[in-house]
């Protein structure tokens, strides 16, 4: 009997696909993107078909048969299949794992692509009229019938279950002619393009941007650089309205949906069409439902975070990626892709436009815009007559600080509260203090497992390492000299809460960080309070900085503007000014001019000076020039080879050997990582860099080639292409 050879990508960390046999009868349903069940080693795994061939390099007798074909139609649409293949090559990540990531969890576990029929029960006219007395001796049937009568539109099995009614009860009613079962169908066809809420009259700048995007056909990348509050979201909404009008769907990617329910609500309120939002709070089943509605074209708008990039669309119309500079678009673990970069590739494959938006574009995107690879669109004015906030530097040198706050800062807070405004106090650290210092000898309490300093958390009476999660009791004595004079150094949100409550006891304080606000509901509750717009203090970490619209905030205080200026990572300054600009952008968004106080020990720092006198846009161009002179990205391309083990020398030695075979990409290192030890493991880096991507790629290929060094026991390594984090 003739068999065909099928190449299957299996979700294992091997950069390889595997051959299986398929009997001719199976062949009709096999095509790229279809899921199959295969035996792999001693396990049974779900893989994805990549290719079908007549020959194999292995003798056929050694090959196993495919056990089961799971899909009639490819689970991965051709566009997404192509995207995954591209990503696997580009990021040097095993294709099996990439393909698995591109599928919702339920599909990875073998659930069907098509939903089971959605059955509903409703009463028949007979059931509606039936006299209750006739069911007196059958209380269960009576309860079931009553439930149906209350809801004659029809109810689902799950709904009935909530009331203790089983499918069996419902079946009895059907048998007796009192109820009928039918299949509920979502309305098919294109989502409605009607607006539920009228669009705002677009400003001249907005109009220009909207028209530019809508007048392109096919693939094109746009960068919308618009200051905070300039109405970028309004631009997205109006573009989407037209895309829907044309019978197409929009995919909107945002950094962290859970933090910005407001944004999702804005989309939902504007349109009548179904908007699905894919966030971490969904169950696998809900996610699968959303995925299906996108795949069938029923959802007009799909909003999601990074991984929503892989949501299929029946009628793709546009991709919009908001806050494109945000670091959360890069996946930090496992398959280390950048959703922005892959979204652009997807748009090219689907031949649709993609719009990247930010008030503080990444230098990568700005570079592409300045070199005309992207169309550069700008919004330079705030909408809604709001004016830009005024910045002031607060020179901290030689000032007597009250737990990190200068007297003039406290004074200014007082003034704004008295004028019935809200004040936002930003510090990028949670906990009480980031360091515990011996005042006698200068020793700092270390984490026993990392080369970092753990943070003091006062309320929980512990010190906690934010890198490995290790918790220990607060030490009473210095390990080095035995002194009892241990002092907390630096400020976190917890410490600031204390000092602010002491100074402003008559005003509410809303603390927003991961310790104070642990879930979506808690956040929503705080936000509801804040949005009442009564005077009070908002205190928090970057959870506060992203995308929120606080109408009543008149003053923003950045407690430590210097923290990012002296980072070991060359992106430190870029990140620091983006953060300042984003946090500052929360001030004065509704009418009254806002103020921003930057507390700094470096008031003359050129970065701060440029930011304050010329703005982010000018500063970003200056940083870009600096990168050019150092030949750093985006003027060159990097890949970081990370290795770690419990042995320092073995780790370095392995990277040294890699160094010797990757000379095309001028390898730098190996060096110990800036955070040298984490969770008990030594971490080392080899940084590859080239001005030509092809050279970088050639060098990386060597890792799979015949000269690749043998991996010593217990050393683990991975690659990060276009790394965003060098720590």
Q: Which of 54, 84, 48 is nearest to 66 (CA)?
A: 48
**Per-residue string for binding with ligand ADP, 373-412, x by CB under 6 A?**
----------xx----------------------------
**231 touches ligand ADP by CB under 6 A:** yes
| Partner interacting with residue 200 (select from ligand ADP, Zn ion, none; CB below 5-8 Å by kind) | ligand ADP
Closest CB to ligand ADP belongs to which residue?
231
Q: Alpha-carbon distance 30 to 74, whole Å?
A: 8
3-state secondary structure of 167: helix
Q: Alpha-carbon distance 644 to 684, whole Å?
A: 6
**Interface residue with Zn ion, options 196, 441, 522, 694 (CB under 5 A):** 441
List Cβ neighbours of 689 (8 Å cut-off, separation of 6 or more).
631, 636, 637, 638, 639, 665, 666, 668, 696
Q: Alpha-carbon distance 422 to 592, whole Å?
A: 12
| Partner interacting with residue 483 (select from ligand ADP, Zn ion, none; CB below 5-8 Å by kind) | Zn ion
**200 touches Zn ion by CB under 5 A:** no
Tell me the site size for Zn ion, rule CB under 5 A.
Answer: 15
Query: Contact at 8 Å (CB) between 520 and 528?
Result: no
Query: Contact at 8 Å (CB) between 310 and 102?
Result: yes
**205 touches ligand ADP by CB under 6 A:** no
**675 touches Zn ion by CB under 5 A:** no
User: Which residue matches tokens 């083990």?
Assistant: 645
Query: Contact at 8 Å (CB) between 543 and 564?
Result: no
**443 touches Zn ion by CB under 5 A:** yes
**CB 559 to ligand ADP: min, Å:** 23
- Stretch of 146-154, 373-381, 422-430, 464-472 lying at the interface with Zn ion (CB under 5 A): 464-472
Where in 469-488 is the site for Zn ion (CB under 5 A)?
470, 478, 480-481, 483
- Stretch of 180-188, 232-240, 408-416, 604-612 lying at the interface with ligand ADP (CB under 6 A): 232-240
**268 touches ligand ADP by CB under 6 A:** no
List Cβ neighbours of 116 (8 Å cut-off, separation of 6 or more).
none
Tell me the site size for ligand ADP, rule CB under 6 A.
Answer: 16
**CB 361 to ligand ADP: min, Å:** 13
Considering beta carbons, is residue 263 or 311 the nearer one to ligand ADP? 263
**447 touches Zn ion by CB under 5 A:** yes
DSSP β-ladder status, 43-53 and 68-69? unpaired
In degrees to the nearest 10, what's the CA dihedral of 252, 253, 257, 261?
A: -20
Question: Phi and psi (nearest 5°) for 627?
Answer: -65, -35
**CB 487 to Zn ion: min, Å:** 11
**38 touches ligand ADP by CB under 6 A:** no
**Interface residue with ligand ADP, options 48, 202, 424, 619 (CB under 6 A):** 202
**542 touches ligand ADP by CB under 6 A:** no
Q: Which of 318, 357, 354, 324 is nearest to 226 (CA)?
A: 357
| Partner interacting with residue 254 (select from Zn ion, ligand ADP, none; CB below 5-8 Å by kind) | none
Q: State both tokens at 658.
A: 């890699």
**CB 564 to Zn ion: min, Å:** 22
| Partner interacting with residue 651 (select from Zn ion, ligand ADP, none; CB below 5-8 Å by kind) | none
**467 touches Zn ion by CB under 5 A:** yes
Query: Contact at 8 Å (CB) between 207 and 216?
Result: no
User: Which residue matches tokens 């391309």?
Assistant: 637
Query: Contact at 8 Å (CB) between 641 and 721?
Result: no
**CB 642 to Zn ion: min, Å:** 17
What is the largest distance, in Å, between two alpha-carbon atoms of the chain?
90
Q: State both tokens at 310.
A: 């892989």
Q: State both tokens at 95.
A: 């294709």
End-to-end CA separation in angstroms for the chain: 57
Q: Alpha-carbon distance 481 to 479, whole Å?
A: 6
Considering beta carbons, is residue 228 or 409 the nearer one to ligand ADP? 228
Considering beta carbons, is residue 234 or 695 the nearer one to ligand ADP? 234
Considering beta carbons, is residue 232 or 702 the nearer one to ligand ADP? 232
Considering beta carbons, is residue 77 or 206 the nearer one to ligand ADP? 206
Q: State both tokens at 568.
A: 């070991």
Considering beta carbons, is residue 579 or 640 the nearer one to ligand ADP? 579
Whole-Å CA distances, 646 to 371, 654, 684: 45, 13, 11
Q: State both tokens at 313.
A: 């669309």
3-state secondary structure of 702: helix
DSSP β-ladder status, 316-322 and 353-358? parallel
What's the chain's Rg over C-alpha atoms?
29
Q: Alpha-carbon distance 474 to 266, whole Å?
A: 46
- Stretch of 66-74, 223-231, 283-291, 466-474 lying at the interface with ligand ADP (CB under 6 A): 223-231
- Stretch of 9-17, 20-28, 450-458, 681-689 lying at the interface with Zn ion (CB under 5 A): 450-458
| Partner interacting with residue 631 (select from Zn ion, ligand ADP, none; CB below 5-8 Å by kind) | none
**CB 444 to Zn ion: min, Å:** 10
DSSP-derived secondary structure for 73-100? S-SS-HHHHHHHHHHHHHTT--HHHHHH
**206 touches ligand ADP by CB under 6 A:** yes
**Interface residue with Zn ion, options 83, 100, 450, 640 (CB under 5 A):** 450
Question: Phi and psi (nearest 5°) for 357?
Answer: -125, 145
| Partner interacting with residue 467 (select from ligand ADP, Zn ion, none; CB below 5-8 Å by kind) | Zn ion
List Cβ neighbours of 204 (8 Å cut-off, separation of 6 or more).
none
**CB 719 to Zn ion: min, Å:** 24
Considering beta carbons, is residue 226 or 573 the nearer one to ligand ADP? 226
Handedness of CA 370, 607, 637, 678 (dihedral sign): negative
**CB 585 to ligand ADP: min, Å:** 7
| Partner interacting with residue 468 (select from Zn ion, ligand ADP, none; CB below 5-8 Å by kind) | Zn ion
* Residue 402, strand partner residues: 405
Query: Contact at 8 Å (CB) between 350 and 315?
Result: no
**Interface residue with Zn ion, options 17, 339, 465, 559 (CB under 5 A):** 465
**CB 55 to ligand ADP: min, Å:** 56
| Partner interacting with residue 362 (select from ligand ADP, Zn ion, none; CB below 5-8 Å by kind) | none
Where in 549-578 is the site for ligand ADP (CB under 6 A)?
549
Q: Which of 26, 29, 50, 49 is nearest to 38 (CA)?
A: 49
**CB 282 to ligand ADP: min, Å:** 25
| Partner interacting with residue 206 (select from ligand ADP, Zn ion, none; CB below 5-8 Å by kind) | ligand ADP
**Interface residue with ligand ADP, options 233, 298, 422, 690 (CB under 6 A):** 233
**CB 385 to ligand ADP: min, Å:** 8
| Partner interacting with residue 230 (select from ligand ADP, Zn ion, none; CB below 5-8 Å by kind) | ligand ADP
H/E stretch holding 120 reads: strand 118-123
Q: Indicate the DSSP class of residue 635.
A: S
**Interface residue with ligand ADP, options 126, 200, 332, 671 (CB under 6 A):** 200
Q: Alpha-carbon distance 717 to 645, whole Å?
A: 9
**455 touches ligand ADP by CB under 6 A:** no
Considering beta carbons, is residue 206 or 644 the nearer one to ligand ADP? 206
* Interface positions with Zn ion (CB under 5 A): 438, 440-441, 443, 447, 449-450, 465, 467-468, 470, 478, 480-481, 483
Query: Which positions lie near ligand ADP, rule CB under 6 A?
Result: 200-203, 206, 226, 228-234, 383-384, 549
């Amino acid at each position: 009997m003739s068999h065909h050879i099928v190449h299957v990508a299996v979700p294992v960390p091997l950069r390889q696909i595997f051959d299986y046999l398929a009997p001719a009868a199976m062949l009709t349903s096999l095509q790229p993107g279809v899921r199959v069940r295969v035996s792999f080693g001693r396990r049974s795994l779900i893989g994805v078909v990549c290719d079908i061939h007549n020959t194999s390099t292995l003798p056929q007798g050694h090959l196993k048969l495919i056990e089961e074909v799971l899909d009639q139609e490819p689970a991965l649409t051709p566009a997404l299949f192509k995207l995954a293949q591209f990503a696997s090559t580009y990021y040097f990540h095993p294709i099996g794992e990439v393909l698995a990531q591109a599928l919702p969890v339920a599909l990875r576990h073998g659930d069907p692509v098509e939903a089971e029929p959605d059955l509903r029960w409703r009463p028949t006219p007979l059931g509606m009229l039936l006299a209750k007395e006739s069911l007196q001796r059958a209380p269960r049937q009576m309860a079931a019938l009553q439930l149906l009568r209350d809801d004659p539109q029809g109810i689902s099995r799950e709904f009935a279950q909530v009331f203790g009614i089983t499918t069996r009860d419902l079946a009895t009613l059907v048998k007796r002619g009192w109820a009928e079962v039918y299949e509920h169908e979502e309305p098919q066809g294109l989502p409605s393009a009607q607006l539920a809420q009228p669009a705002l009259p677009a400003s001249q700048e907005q109009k220009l941007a909207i028209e530019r995007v809508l007048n392109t056909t096919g693939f094109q990348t746009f960068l919308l650089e618009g200051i905070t509050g300039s109405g970028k979201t309004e631009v997205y909404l109006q573009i989407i309205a037209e895309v829907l009008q044309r019978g197409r769907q929009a995919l909107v990617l945002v950094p962290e949906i859970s933090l910005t329910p407001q944004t999702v609500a804005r989309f939902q309120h504007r349109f009548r069409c179904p908007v699905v939002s894919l966030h971490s709070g969904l169950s696998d089943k809900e996610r699968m439902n959303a995925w299906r509605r996108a795949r069938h074209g029923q959802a007009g708008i799909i909003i999601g975070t990074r991984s929503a990039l892989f949501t299929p669309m029946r009628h793709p119309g546009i991709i919009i990626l908001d806050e494109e500079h945000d670091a959360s678009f890069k996946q930090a673990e496992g398959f280390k892709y950048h959703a922005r970069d892959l979204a652009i590739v997807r748009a090219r494959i689907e031949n649709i436009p993609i719009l990247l938006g930010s008030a503080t574009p990444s230098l990568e995107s700005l570079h592409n815009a300045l070199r005309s690879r992207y169309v550069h669109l700008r919004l330079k004015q705030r909408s809604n007559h709001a004016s830009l906030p005024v910045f002031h530097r607060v020179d901290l040198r030689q000032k007597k600080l009250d737990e990190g706050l200068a007297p003039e800062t406290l004074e200014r807070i007082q003034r704004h509260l008295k004028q019935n405004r809200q004040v936002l106090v930003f510090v990028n650290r949670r906990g009480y203090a980031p360091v515990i210092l011996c005042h006698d000898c200068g020793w700092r309490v270390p984490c026993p497992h990392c080369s970092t300093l753990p943070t003091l958390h006062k309320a929980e009476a512990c010190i906690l390492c934010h890198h490995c999660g290790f918790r220990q009791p607060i030490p009473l004595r210095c390990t080095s000299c035995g002194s009892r004079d241990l002092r907390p150094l630096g400020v976190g949100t917890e410490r600031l809460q204390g000092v602010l409550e002491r100074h402003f006891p008559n005003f509410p304080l809303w603390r927003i960080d991961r310790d104070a606000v642990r879930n979506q509901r808690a956040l929503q509750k705080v936000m509801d309070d804040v949005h009442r717009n009564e005077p009070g203090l908002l205190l928090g970490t970057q959870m506060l900085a992203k995308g929120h619209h606080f109408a009543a905030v008149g003053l923003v205080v950045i407690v430590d503007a210097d923290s990012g200026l002296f980072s070991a990572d060359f992106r430190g300054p870029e990140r620091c000014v983006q953060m300042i600009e984003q946090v500052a952008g929360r001030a004065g968004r509704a009418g009254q001019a806002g103020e921003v106080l930057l507390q700094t020990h470096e008031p003359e720092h050129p970065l701060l000076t440029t930011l304050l006198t010329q703005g982010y846009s000018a500063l970003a161009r200056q940083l870009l020039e600096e990168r050019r002179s150092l030949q750093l990205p985006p003027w060159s391309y990097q890949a970081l080879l990370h290795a770690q083990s419990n042995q320092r020398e073995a780790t370095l030695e392995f990277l040294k050997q890699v160094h010797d075979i990757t000379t095309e990409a001028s390898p730098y290192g190996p060096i110990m990582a800036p955070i040298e030890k984490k969770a008990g493991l030594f971490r080392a880096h080899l940084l590859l860099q080239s001005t030509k991507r092809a050279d970088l790629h050639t060098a990386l290929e060597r890792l799979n080639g015949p000269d690749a060094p043998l991996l010593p026991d217990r050393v683990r390594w991975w690659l990060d292409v276009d790394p965003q984090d060098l720590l």
